[in-house]
Structure 1
C-alpha cells in the first residue's frame, strides 16, 4: 500500500466514524477524500458505494438494537428508491458531467453538516401521505445511484424539515435507507464492470472499524458539533476541486 492509499485509509476511517454517528454511511466523505487525492471518477463511485454498504449495515444494526427506527416511514422510501438507485447506478456519466454533479452534492453535504451541528427541534409532526413518500424515495434513489452516495444526506434533511420523526429515529431510518440504496446502486454500477482499487480491502477494514465506533456512540448520543463543522470545510474544498477540474 503506497502513501496515497495509506492517507486515504485514515480519511475513510475518520469519515466512517463521524457519519455513522448520525446514521449515515459516509459516501460524501469518501468521495471528498478521493476527490482531494485525485482518484479517477470511474473508481470513486463503486468504491464509495461499497464502503457505504459496510458502514450503513453496521449503523443499521446499532440503531435497530436501541429501537431508533420506524418501519412505517422506512418501507415506502425503500420500496420506491431501490429500483431507481439501480437505474442510476447503471448509468455512466462522462467525467465533465460527473465531477461538477458530485461537486455540487459535496457542497450541499457541507451545508447540511454545518447546519446539523446546531441544535435541532425534536418535535414530531404528522406522517405524510404514502404517495409523497414513494415519489421522494424514487427521486432520492436515482440521485443516490447516479452520484455514488447512499441518499442519507438528502433523506435526513427531508425528514427533519417536515418533522416526520425524532432525530434519533431519523438516524436509524437513514442508515437502513442508505444500506438498501447502496446495495442497489452498487449492483447497477457493476453491470459496467468498473475497476475497483487494489487498496479497497484496507479501506473496507477502516470503514467498518470507524462505522462500528461511530454507530455505537451515535446510537446513544448525537455527534460532536465542532467535528461536523470541520467536516463541512473539507467537503467544500473537495466539492470546489471537483467543479474546478471538470
Structure 2
C-alpha cells in the first residue's frame, strides 16, 4: 500500500504540474484514502505544493508566459486571506465535506478542458475584481489547505484574462504564494508534517519536474487524467459518506 501511495503521488504531481498546478487537492485526496492522520494532512499538502508549484512556475516562466500585471491583483487579495483561512480550526465534518467538493472541482478541471474563445482579445482583470476574487479563493484555499489554482485557472481563461499557457504560469505563481502564506498561517496551531514527508517531497519533485516539462510539449495525458479523476472521485465519495 505504501508503494501504491508513492506511485499515485508521482502521478498526481506529474499531472497537476503539467497544467501549472501544485496538486494539493490531489495530495489531500490520497491522504484521505490512505488514512493519513488528519492533523498532518493540510501542512503536508502545502509543503508538497510549494515544491511542485515552484517547479511548474519556473518551467512556464522560462517559456515567457508570465504576466505580472495579471497576477498582482489576485495575490493582493489572496495572500492575507490564505493566512487568515489557514488559522481557522474548522469542524472535521465540515472540512471533509469542503474538501470533497474541492476534489470534484479538480475532477472537472482535469476532464473538461477550458479553451480560449476564438478571436476574443485578452484583457487584464479589473483591479477591484481581481482583489475580490483573490480574497475569496485565497480564504477558501487557506482553510482547506490547497493553493487555489484549480479555481483560479479556469476563471482566467473563461473571462479572457489569460490564454492557456499564461493561465498555467499565473496559477503556479498564485499557488506557490498562497501555499507559503497558508503554511505560515498554520504556525499558530503548529505545523504538523507526516514522518514520510521527505520521500514524498522527492517523489513529488520528480513528478513535478517531468510534468511541467511535458506540459510545454502537449503530450497526450488523457489516460492518466482518467486514472487520477477516478482516484479523486473515490476520495470525495469517502469524504462525503464514510
Whether TM-score is above 0.5 comes out as: yes
Q: Equivalent residue for 1:23?
A: 20
Q: Equivalent residue for 1:235?
A: 232
- After superposition, give the CA deviation of every residue in 1:113-141 in whole Å (9 maximum; x if it has no partner): 1112x766465433231100010011111
- Partners of 2:217 and 2:117 in 1: CA distance: 17
| Gap regions ≥5 residues in structure 1 | none
Match for 1:84 among 68, 81, 85?
81
The farther-off stretch of 227-236 and 203-212 is 227-236
* TM-score, normalising length: structure 2: 0.94
- After superposition, give the CA deviation of every residue in 1:152-188 in whole Å (9 maximum; x if it has no partner): 0000111121121110110000000000000001111
Number of matched pairs: 241
Q: Equivalent residue for 2:171?
A: 174
Q: CA deviation at 1:79?
A: 1.7
Q: Is the 8 A contact 1:21 1:223 kept in 2?
A: no
* 1:205 to 1:217, Cα distance in 2 relative to 1, 3 A: same
- Partners of 2:136 and 2:87 in 1: CA distance: 15
| Gap regions ≥5 residues in structure 2 | none
Q: Equivalent residue for 2:142?
A: 145
- Partners of 1:26 and 1:229 in 2: CA distance: 16
Aligned pair 1:58/2:55, yes or no? yes
Aligned pair 1:165/2:162, yes or no? yes
- Partners of 2:98 and 2:39 in 1: CA distance: 14
Q: Is the 8 A contact 1:90 1:188 kept in 2?
A: yes
Q: Equivalent residue for 2:196?
A: 199
Q: Equivalent residue for 2:95?
A: 98
Q: CA deviation at 1:88?
A: 0.8
The farther-off stretch of 140-149 and 229-238 is 229-238
Q: Equivalent residue for 1:68?
A: 65
Q: CA deviation at 1:226?
A: 3.1
Q: Equivalent residue for 2:126?
A: 129
Q: Equivalent residue for 2:46?
A: 49
Q: Is the 8 A contact 1:124 1:165 kept in 2?
A: no
- After superposition, give the CA deviation of every residue in 1:191-230 in whole Å (9 maximum; x if it has no partner): 2114311100000000111111111111343662332233
- Partners of 2:70 and 2:220 in 1: CA distance: 23
* 1:78 to 1:222, Cα distance in 2 relative to 1, 3 A: farther
Query: SS of the residue aligned with 2:167?
Result: helix
* 1:110 to 1:181, Cα distance in 2 relative to 1, 3 A: same
Q: CA deviation at 1:69?
A: 1.3
- Partners of 1:98 and 1:222 in 2: CA distance: 35
